[in-house]
Structure 1
Amino acid sequence: MEKIVHSFPLHPDCPDLRRLGPNRSEALLRAEAAAVEAENAAERDRYRRLNDLEEQQQDGRGVTRRTFVAGTAATVTALATSQFVSTQASFAATKTGTLIHVFLYGGLDGLSLVAPADDPVLRKSRPDLLLGNDSVALGRGFQMSKAFAPLEGYLAKKQLAFVPAVSDPRLSLSHFQAQDACNLGGLPGETGGRGWLDALVDALGPGTAFRSVGIGSTLPRSLVGTNGAISLNSVGALTLRGDRRYTDATEKAIKGLFTDINHPVEESVQAGLSALGLAKKLAATEYTPANGATYEGSVGRSFRELARLIKGGANVRVATIGTGGYDTHENQGPREGGQLFRRLNDLAQGMADFFADLGELSKDVTILVSSEFGRRVASNGGGTDHGHGGVVTLLSGKPLSGPVLGTWNGLSTLDNGNVPEFNNMFNVYGSVAQGRFGLTNAQVDKLFPRQKYAPMKIYG
């Protein structure tokens, strides 16, 4: 009997290939199908054995893959899944820097931060909400609230700037709709629900698991997408839950369980464990900010955690900080002692502490501060209602082209009571990212679907 040589195993119950089919060709197909089925069964058995090993660790000495994911969900986004990106770069300082987006939830009244000085429209429309005599002159006829005094020194260095009259036609006056559009870079139907910062990560290429980070308990819409951003309140909180006495043993067990399993989850878990390892290393040493930074308040503490990651070599490329309380329908208080003045002052102090703490590393960092919309020009008798034409604030280690950027054509003609849109929001976002990272126009175009990108001069 002729012995047929083949490159795949025969069906175990039928060593004679010709018995598998009426002819040689069909026998080969059936044998190959049987071999694939056997291989798949063996792989399923392998995962079943892994699962059994994990289940044996539920007696308090460790965690299972299931509880591993669930236990870390409060501080990271699905660690043992593809939400953790492949790490193809070391924990080295990036040459092109970091972009931090600070989002002010509620709708900041931009005219309480920067405004044209001695403007007749403002004197008539909001006499109770004008900036004080202690305001700081910016040039181009603008003045800055004294609330931003902690950052005043960066004006002379051309590192602090403001873009007035920023909006987009797609923004409504609903907080939720406008916040979505700002974070997604367009309407949900245009973007597929993907955040513009997550799309930016694509353009930046591979990096560490910390390349996109949201400081806070939930991930902002701007980082939602395919690149697996980490959401955390503090570096020390990024750890495995459970009895701390068994953390090292648990990490070792997880590493063993997810090594050489020939599955995409292996690389994701290894990346996650690398992130946990760096977080553990940073948390093991008490962090002492440099250059007198004190980091007071919740915004300050968020900047503190980012400084800790950046100085620790986590290679953060994009990051977010969110803070609320800017929906000032009443008791707005733009002058010293007022509630909006205090919030802006806390923000400015946090930014100042952050740059001071980073020292030389700050030259590679740009902070972009924005809100979902502005407020109406007229006062409603102590506050302001939802409106358009907000302001974007920039603090950058890379020098900017001036203290007041973009187009400004004055307030002589309002847009239904609002500051007109002289500068499109997504052109501002895109120009800031482009100059920070050296992107092409085509790369920026991909960040904002349905938006034809028009570059603005942002950096000097």
Structure 2
Amino acid sequence: MKFGDAVLRAEAAAVQSENAAVRDEWRSLNEAEEAAEDGRGVTRRTVLLGAGLGATTLLTSQFLNVRASFGASGTGTLIHVFLFGGLDGLSLVAPANDPVLAAARPGLVLPTGGSIALARGFALNRAFEPLKKYLDAGELGFVPGVSDPRLSRSHFQCQDACELGGLPSETQGRGWMDVLTSRLGPGTAFRSVGVGSTLRRSLVGTQGALALRNLPALAINGDAAFAPRTAEAIKTMFTGLDHPAAESVEAAVGALALASRISSVAYTPANGAVYPAGLGDGFKTLAQLIKGGANVRTAAVSMGGFDTHSNQGTNGGHLFTLFGQMASALRAFFDDLGDARKNVTVVLSSEFGRRVAQNGSGTDHGHGNVVTVLSGQKLSSSLLGTWPGLGTLDNGDVPEFNNMFDVFGTVAQSRFGLSATDVAAMFPKRTFKPITMFA
């Protein structure tokens, strides 16, 4: 034991020595930066590049832009779920006993006997039965015929536009949820989170969103026994320095500490909630963060597999299975949140819909689609927005009856109490027209 103590003391002394050297380097850099501001020869860019060399292991882009007070108050959470591949919305929600659908897709219509009734004569795929209690409570609704004139039938073009809130040239490549986050004011390092191996395009921008697979993945590498001391040593290195990176480090260390605290105890979902694998794993992580006090404001999750050119299986099979996974994950999430769900809204959308007519056992790329909304704020109906019917198609597609960005903007505005100016900033080339969605 004495030998072990001696080793620890030696390591501590080495860390202190390294800290002193790094702090001296930062002081020199600070002086150089001040000299640059006074016009004495060193540019701010040179200073920041030099500073980055001493902190690259921690100061990633995930933390550099936080500038936040840890533990700030929040006004709820908006979660966007992107369904990759082009969801066939008519297989999820459709007008019941519609003659156009019966003629164009006889093998893919929703069955009259087994579907779930919605408002205005619509039917919901029975795979969504796990969410029936939230449908009955007025917390689940659907917006049909959703699209935007700028969307093509290209997966990549549409995915970009949907996540950016317009074309790249219109948005400067900044995601609409990143702009939304900037409108919500300061918060914790977890105020904007993308659950997955990469950050969703909708969260890319200036607000330093975190990308994580799960909470344990956000940790200091190395022996867990030394993690707290390592974090404290890193924080000490930057304490008392008048430099933006010092704030970033403080926020980063705070994020690590909160993630460690939340994940240190085995998580047991409340109210008997059981998360399915896949999409359910992402929602379980978000439930841990929300219930753990991380003050998540915006979050993004994704699910793939919706490019159903064949073997679609609306009433059983591939697509039916995906719908069941979606519904089970959402049910577990809202069950687990309990009363906390009143402050949470989930929006699910895809890059485009499918053509009205089936093509063999599947459907091809189309236009108008359905957006699903699950919210602790009571909705005005189970079927939302405008629906004039399928009497006139858009070149064989569901027409755009409701603009996608009006739907997103209405949800964000209601969730956070945004002004029309705030919404306009999220979708710069769209004249915002609110939709009646909430009671």
TM-score (norm 2): 0.88
Q: 1:261 Cα shift? A: 2.1
Instruction: Note the alpha carbon deviations across 1:243-297, whole angstroms, 9 max, x for none.
Output: 3333222211210111122211110111111010000001110000001111011
Q: 1:40 Cα shift? A: 7.2
Alignment-mate amino acid for residue 263 of structure 1: H
Aligned to 2:69: 88
Aligned to 2:347: 368
User: Retained in 1: the 8 A contact 2:160–2:168?
Assistant: yes
Superposed, 1:176-191 pairs within 5 Å as 176-191=156-171
In the comparison of the two structures, how many residue pairs are matched?
Answer: 403
Q: 1:89 Cα shift? A: 5.2
Match of 2:96 among 102, 111, 117: 117
Superposed, 1:99-114 pairs within 5 Å as 99-114=78-93
- Would the alpha carbon gap of residues 203 and 126 (structure 1) be closer, same or farther in structure 2, given more than 3 Å must change? same
Superposed, 1:98-177 pairs within 5 Å as 98-132=77-111, 133-177=113-157
Q: Does 1:421 align with 2:400?
A: yes
Aligned to 1:378: 357
Q: Matched residues in 2 for 1:86 and 1:191: separation? A: 23
Superposed, 1:266-281 pairs within 5 Å as 266-281=246-261
User: Retained in 2: the 8 A contact 1:68–1:240?
Assistant: no
Aligned to 1:68: 58
- Would the alpha carbon gap of residues 376 and 191 (structure 1) be closer, same or farther in structure 2, given more than 3 Å must change? same
Aligned to 1:459: 438
Alignment-mate amino acid for residue 341 of structure 1: F
Q: Matched residues in 2 for 1:34 and 1:99: separation? A: 42
- Would the alpha carbon gap of residues 37 and 168 (structure 1) be closer, same or farther in structure 2, given more than 3 Å must change? closer
Aligned to 2:388: 409
Instruction: Note the alpha carbon deviations across 1:44-83, whole angstroms, 9 max, x for none.
Output: 99x98x99xx9xxxxxxxxx623335xxxxxxx534x523
What SS does the corresponding residue of 2:198 show, helix, strand or coil? Answer: coil
Q: Matched residues in 2 for 1:129 and 1:293: separation? A: 32
Match of 1:78 among 61, 73, 81: 61
What SS does the corresponding residue of 1:65 show, helix, strand or coil? Answer: coil
User: Retained in 2: the 8 A contact 1:217–1:231?
Assistant: yes
Superposed, 1:265-414 pairs within 5 Å as 265-336=245-316, 338-414=317-393
User: Retained in 2: the 8 A contact 1:215–1:320?
Assistant: yes
Which deviates more from structure 2 when the two are superposed, residues 304-313 or residues 148-157?
A: 148-157
Q: Which runs of 5+ in 1 are unaligned?
A: 1-31, 55-63, 70-76
Aligned to 1:241: 221
Aligned to 1:444: 423
- Would the alpha carbon gap of residues 37 and 106 (structure 1) be closer, same or farther in structure 2, given more than 3 Å must change? closer
Query: What is the RMSD of the two structures over their aligned residues, measured on CA atoms?
Result: 2.4
What SS does the corresponding residue of 1:66 show, helix, strand or coil? Answer: coil
What SS does the corresponding residue of 2:271 show, helix, strand or coil? Answer: coil
Q: Matched residues in 2 for 1:191 and 1:359: separation? A: 37
User: Retained in 2: the 8 A contact 1:102–1:370?
Assistant: yes
What SS does the corresponding residue of 1:410 show, helix, strand or coil? Answer: coil
Q: 1:181 Cα shift? A: 0.2
What SS does the corresponding residue of 2:160 show, helix, strand or coil? Answer: helix
Q: Matched residues in 2 for 1:149 and 1:183: separation? A: 29
Q: 1:34 Cα shift? A: 12
Instruction: Note the alpha carbon deviations across 1:98-130, whole angstroms, 9 max, x for none.
Output: 101011000000000000001011001000111
Q: Matched residues in 1 for 2:89 and 2:405: separation? A: 17
Instruction: Note the alpha carbon deviations across 1:130-160, whole angstroms, 9 max, x for none.
Output: 1123001102010000010011111221110
The structure with the largest alpha-carbon Rg is 1
User: Retained in 1: the 8 A contact 2:354–2:397?
Assistant: yes
- Would the alpha carbon gap of residues 388 and 262 (structure 1) be closer, same or farther in structure 2, given more than 3 Å must change? same
Q: 1:184 Cα shift? A: 0.3
User: Retained in 2: the 8 A contact 1:91–1:314?
Assistant: no
Q: 1:88 Cα shift? A: 2.3
Alignment-mate amino acid for residue 90 of structure 1: G
Q: 1:440 Cα shift? A: 1.2
Superposed, 1:163-242 pairs within 5 Å as 163-242=143-222
Superposed, 1:24-63 pairs within 5 Å as none
Q: 1:91 Cα shift? A: 5.4
Q: Matched residues in 2 for 1:250 and 1:38: separation? A: 37
User: Retained in 1: the 8 A contact 2:35–2:41?
Assistant: no
- Would the alpha carbon gap of residues 37 and 458 (structure 1) be closer, same or farther in structure 2, given more than 3 Å must change? closer
Alignment-mate amino acid for residue 86 of structure 1: R
Aligned to 2:25: none
Alignment-mate amino acid for residue 147 of structure 1: A
Alignment-mate amino acid for residue 265 of structure 1: A
TM-score (norm 1): 0.84
What SS does the corresponding residue of 1:67 show, helix, strand or coil? Answer: coil
Alignment-mate amino acid for residue 181 of structure 2: V
User: Retained in 2: the 8 A contact 1:91–1:313?
Assistant: no
